[in-house]
Amino acid sequence: MRNFSDLCRNQTLIMRNNYKKGDSKRVGGGKRIGKSLENKETKSLKKGVASKGRFSKSETEKSKRYSSVEEKKTYSKTKARVIKKTPKKQTYSEDIRLNRFIANAGVCSRREADTYISAGLVSINGKTVTELGTKVKPGDEVRFDGRRLSAEKKVYLLLNKPKDFVTTTDDPHADKTVMDLVRNACEERVYPVGRLDRNTTGLLLFTNDGDLSKKLTHPSHNMKKVYQVTLNKALTKEHLLQIADGLDLEDGRIAADAISFITPENRTEIGIEIHSGRNRIVRRIFEHLGYRVKKLDRVLFAGLTKKNLPRGKWRFLSEKEIHFLKIN
């Protein structure tokens, strides 16, 4: 018993001595008591110093960066500038031939311009010019028949003409003209290409391109025009074939390029393709055979259609459409 008691006493004394000395060795399988406490206090202190150091540095930099009110800069989002592109009139920057200048102004074709020049109807800067091939310089004043001309950009627009509008640029006796429908379309002065009579509806092209207008209206170019016709009675098959073969009218023989019934069930509605530009030619064909045309609608002109173009509305041609008209 004594030996066991002495052993316990000795063990207790050893533990006390180790705790006082701050020894970090594990005693009896326990935790490191002395050094563990010291490490916790040291780490906590170091962490506090480190945090204080970082905070001080941040404050120093901040005060240094903004040492005065004048040095402070405020940043704000700037609004994006909206640049509106306004169409400008096309001008020329080099000498161009006089007949081309006149055609660009929408007066007529180049060939017709040569005729007018030779006739003495054109002047440049107050002097009459009759020599073909004369060139116009930028800034020159060109007059045709006393009216001043300007080299405008080419404009092409397509109208779906409604009924009761007369195809003319100026008619004091007409209540409504097609020019009323396109008056505010552009600044340039445009003219109808060909014509549709008052009661005919459908496609009508406007432009100030004299050369193209001449090309589209001349019979030799065979520009395709398709009409949808509604008659007062059914068209017989014999008359349909007769129109396809050709008829002799008072102003000469005429034949349809193509003709057919729109639907087999309704023979009062006919589709007819023709390239002639003679006055009221489609109506006169059917009237010659004893029919009365109730409705006449041009649904195709020189490859242009009425797709997405309501009656009485107009639109500008696309670059692709303009190119197509010029190459064909």
Helix (H, G, I), strand (E, B) or coil at 316: strand
298 neighbors 178 (Cβ within 8 angstroms): no
> What are the pLDDT digits (tens) for 269-285?
999 999 888 889 999 99
> What are the pLDDT digits (tens) for 141-155?
999 988 888 777 789
| One fold for 96-149 and 156-327 | no
Residue 168, phi then psi, degrees to nearest 5: -160, 155
Domain 96-149 has CATH 2.40.10.10: no
Checking if the pLDDT of 38 tops 70, the result is no
Residue 302, phi then psi, degrees to nearest 5: 50, 35
What is the CATH architecture assignment of 156-327?
A: 2-Layer Sandwich (3.30)
Q: Provide mean pLDDT across the span 86-96.
A: 55
| Cβ neighbours for 18, distance < 8 A, ≥ 6 positions apart | 25, 27, 34
Token pair, residue 226, equals: 């398709």
Checking if the pLDDT of 207 tops 90, the result is yes
pLDDT for the residue numbered 307 = 92
Residue 304, beta-bridge partner list? 301
Buried b (16+ CB within 10 A) or exposed e, 200-232: bbbbbbbbbbbbbbbbbeeeeeebebbbbbebe
How do the domains of the chain map onto residue ranges?
A: 96-149, 156-327
Checking if the pLDDT of 48 tops 90, the result is no
Average pLDDT value over all residues in the chain: 79
Dist. CA 216–CA 193, nearest whole Å: 7
Dist. CA 318–CA 192, nearest whole Å: 18
Percent of the chain with pLDDT over 90: 46
Strands 201-207 and 293-301: parallel
Q: Provide mean pLDDT across the span 154-182.
A: 91
Active site residues: 197
pLDDT for the residue numbered 94 = 66
> What are the pLDDT digits (tens) for 113-123?
999 999 999 99
251-258, long-range: CB within 8 Å, 24+ apart, which pairs?
Answer: 251/278, 254/278, 254/281, 254/285, 256/285, 257/224
> What are the pLDDT digits (tens) for 20-36?
444 444 444 444 444 44
pLDDT for the residue numbered 9 = 56
